[in-house]
Structure 1
Amino acid sequence: MLYYLKFLLGKSMKRDVIFVGNRLILNEAYERYILRSIKNSLSTIDSISYFEESDKGLFLHLETLLKSESKLIIVTTKNTFTIVGKLLSTVTADNQILKEQMLIPSRASVLEHGSYLLSHNNSEINVILATEGRALPPILIDDESRLSTIHLFNEELTSAQTLLEPLAQNFDVKLEFSELVEGWLKIRIHTRKHGNLSQFIASARGLMYHKVIAASNVAVYIIEKLSHHKKKLSFAESCSGGSLAHFFTSHSGASNIFEGSLITYSNTLKANWLAVDDHALETRGAVSAEVVLEMSEGAMNVSFADYALSISGIAGPTGGTETKPVGTVYISARSKTTVHTERFHFEGDRNYIQEQSVLMAVKMLLNIDKELFFS
């Protein structure tokens, strides 16, 4: 059995996702698309499970989940759609019927384009027939959970908890904290029975002026802010390899604010495309404050953007030295009036170092113009 499970404690109604079928397990790009679609419908996902087509553990897993209250989405292939229906019929003491050329449990209340909804005790089960290269059938589960997300910048975790926990009690909400990178906390807010999300968020923003962004997705928030103010953004990337550009261009509206990104791995292209000084490259090295500063200047000069970010570092697993070990990253953030360059050391594998570099660059962008981004 291929199986991955992540639990979030303290909630009565769980939200679970099950993938059934080898093709779904192998196709990572399609799996990511499915999960994005599900996350747009469910406020959160408590567990994700993967089962091969012949896995006999699926029946026991379904039986266990349906003993408690659950909003369950089961994603199937053409080969496993009927099998899942048969297992659900057994678990719920139902029988299958043929409807719209599909065998489904007779108690299925809604059937729509390869997706059906089934209720059992206090649980809802949505079975979806997924086909690679095709749009996902509709997700029929309606999530009524009251949940929101804010992002808090330039505050340590302990001080944030000290300031916000009493406020959370006043408005009857529960907080969950995660530090994305140093100085950037993502906070998920659950309302309790008489909780008030909007008043809590308004009070948090008033308490932490120029630190709180009340949005679930910071990239989308930045796109909307820059679009409104008719501002443009450009990048010069080295070790991040285009990940910073992808952070924004994976969202609709990026073309309104994003001028482009120059990915300059070699010193030759840093010099020719970004006008980085040859002497700085030779004496300081490509991974240095001097070079990354000139990279951000070059990105702004060639694009005429209002803001520019540059990243250069050693993502590993090789290439480190005693003075610049793997994880050393320099980032420069620049506006038309201000520039800030800083050295960081991130830990983890190559991809995680790249991802931390991107998040830190985004944080530096926000800090370079607090009046615009935090207003």
Structure 2
Amino acid sequence: MKLHLIFVGNKFIYNNSLKEYVQRSISKSFDFIDNITFFKESDNTLFLHLDALLNTDLKLIIVTSKQNFSTIGKVICTITEDNQVLKDTMLIPSESYVYEKGSYLLEYKQSTINVIHVDEMQKFPKLLLESDNSKEVLNIFEEDEESLRAILNPMAQTYDLRLDIFTLVEGWIQVNITSKKYGEISKFIKSAKQLLPSKIIQTEDMATYIIQKLTHYNKKITFAESCTGGLLSYYFTSKNGASNILDGALVTYSNEIKANWLAVEESTLEEYGAVSAPVVKEMAEGAINVSEADYALSISGIAGDTGGTVEKPVGTVFIGIKNNKASLEMHLQLSGDRNYVQNQSVLYAVKLLLLSDKDIFFEI
């Protein structure tokens, strides 16, 4: 059954942080939204749009403000020939069979509708609509997508599963698994781990997974960033528990700051340039010395959209890692606009971290 999401209200069109908060909250229960539509409060086409949708087989989430919550209820009642009643201080359709503060659920013909109100600086109400499917996510490393499809697709058919397989960055493939029987998913995952030992991490939230692992082993991490401007740090600090593993990190754009804050040798900067393997190596060493962390990741590159040269074109990125087991540098030539290069750089850095200590991150 397809899932449609409708935003009603100007604030959801213009307030990106609120809109993204709502979508993140919904994505905790649903891994895919088939259609997203936005309506302003004054849009008279909303009635016709809802009337058409409610006569089809779908799941529908309507998100609006508290101010427009009862208005949406009136529209739904007009379509469904129902009346609004007062339940727990909310005016909602009388046919709503499940309701919580700021949220109610009702069925009409073959459709299931969850109406929610949320405003700025408010907690997202309880999502009453439930997914039909169980889901799990596998992250598979050091395999190519074509080979992985050849291995996993026949297994998926055996267990009656749906697989969505895609590459995040080279050498890191994500597999989204859905089924109406969780037992079949668990059997599939067990078989996959036997076929691909020490290559699979089962999680839909890699940052949280890493935080939990490092917390368990009482390990700390730090970052020295240049072209990503703190995006790698944000990858972790946007998650709960980040303070358990991260005491601090440094964004060092200029050569002077790289030298003064991270003790990168001026001779190294002069000979190789800031975007180079020797510099990210010294950046990682400097970060780990300053922070006394167990792991340090460093990134320096040319994210663009300008600033490249013939020798080092836009998209040239170097990543370094240092821990008690390894000191390693990676040279990348990435494509895309500035933000995509930055995001790819972060994912490659995370991949480098995972592969640098398989004993911790790839426990069986």
Distance in 2 between residues matched to 1:102 and 1:374, nearest whole Å: 49
AA aligned opposite 2:277:
A
AA aligned opposite 1:159:
S
Q: Tell me the number of residue pairs that the alignment of Structure 1 and Structure 2 aligns.
A: 363
Structure 2 unaligned spans of 5+? none
Q: Secondary structure at the match of 2:71?
A: helix
Aligned-residue offset at 1:300: 1.0
AA aligned opposite 1:126:
N
**Contact 1:108–1:116 (8 Å) recurs in 2:** yes
2:171 is matched with which residue: 177, 183, 192? 183
Distance in 2 between residues matched to 1:343 and 1:215, nearest whole Å: 27
Q: Map of 1:139-178 to 2, 5 A cutoff?
A: 139-178=127-166
Aligned-residue offset at 1:25: 1.5
**Contact 1:233–1:307 (8 Å) recurs in 2:** yes
84-93 or 205-214, which deviates more: 84-93
1:169-214 Cα offsets, whole Å, 9 max, x none, are 2222111012111111111101256960111111111111111101
Q: Identity across aligned pairs (percent)?
A: 52
Q: Secondary structure at the match of 1:259?
A: coil
Q: Secondary structure at the match of 2:229?
A: coil
Aligned-residue offset at 1:93: 2.6
Q: Secondary structure at the match of 1:45?
A: coil
Distance in 2 between residues matched to 1:63 and 1:20, nearest whole Å: 15
Q: Which residue of 2 aligns with 1:203?
A: 191
Distance in 1 between residues matched to 2:313 and 2:49, nearest whole Å: 45
Distance change >3 Å, CA 301–CA 219, structure 1 → 2 = same
Residue 124 in structure 1 maps to residue 128 in structure 2: no
Distance in 2 between residues matched to 1:103 and 1:194, nearest whole Å: 37
AA aligned opposite 1:281:
L
Distance in 1 between residues matched to 2:299 and 2:324, nearest whole Å: 18
Residue 240 in structure 1 maps to residue 228 in structure 2: yes
Distance in 1 between residues matched to 2:33 and 2:5, nearest whole Å: 7
AA aligned opposite 1:219:
A
Q: Which residue of 2 aligns with 1:362?
A: 350
Distance in 2 between residues matched to 1:62 and 1:346, nearest whole Å: 44
Aligned-residue offset at 1:41: 2.9
Structure 1 unaligned spans of 5+? 1-12
**Contact 2:132–2:180 (8 Å) recurs in 1:** no
Q: Which residue of 2 aligns with 1:33?
A: 21
332-341 or 267-276, which deviates more: 332-341
1:275 is matched with which residue: 260, 263, 267? 263
Q: Secondary structure at the match of 2:286?
A: helix
Distance in 1 between residues matched to 2:251 and 2:326, nearest whole Å: 23
Aligned-residue offset at 1:282: 1.6
Q: Secondary structure at the match of 2:28?
A: helix
**Contact 2:133–2:181 (8 Å) recurs in 1:** no
AA aligned opposite 2:59:
K
**Contact 1:21–1:79 (8 Å) recurs in 2:** no
Distance change >3 Å, CA 35–CA 91, structure 1 → 2 = same
Q: Secondary structure at the match of 1:362?
A: helix
Q: Which residue of 2 aligns with 1:8?
A: none
**Contact 1:116–1:127 (8 Å) recurs in 2:** yes
CA RMSD of aligned residues (A): 1.7
Distance in 1 between residues matched to 2:333 and 2:55, nearest whole Å: 47
Q: Which residue of 1 aligns with 2:66?
A: 78
1:68 is matched with which residue: 51, 56, 70? 56
2:83 is matched with which residue: 95, 114, 118? 95
Q: Report the TM-score when normalising by structure 2.
A: 0.95
186-195 or 233-242, which deviates more: 186-195
2:125 is matched with which residue: 134, 137, 140? 137
296-305 or 102-111, which deviates more: 102-111
AA aligned opposite 2:102:
G
Q: Which residue of 2 aligns with 1:288?
A: 276
Distance in 2 between residues matched to 1:133 and 1:240, nearest whole Å: 29
**Contact 1:232–1:306 (8 Å) recurs in 2:** yes
Aligned-residue offset at 1:43: 4.4
1:259 is matched with which residue: 243, 247, 255? 247
Distance in 2 between residues matched to 1:182 and 1:60, nearest whole Å: 46
**Contact 1:43–1:145 (8 Å) recurs in 2:** no
Aligned-residue offset at 1:63: 2.9
Distance change >3 Å, CA 323–CA 57, structure 1 → 2 = farther
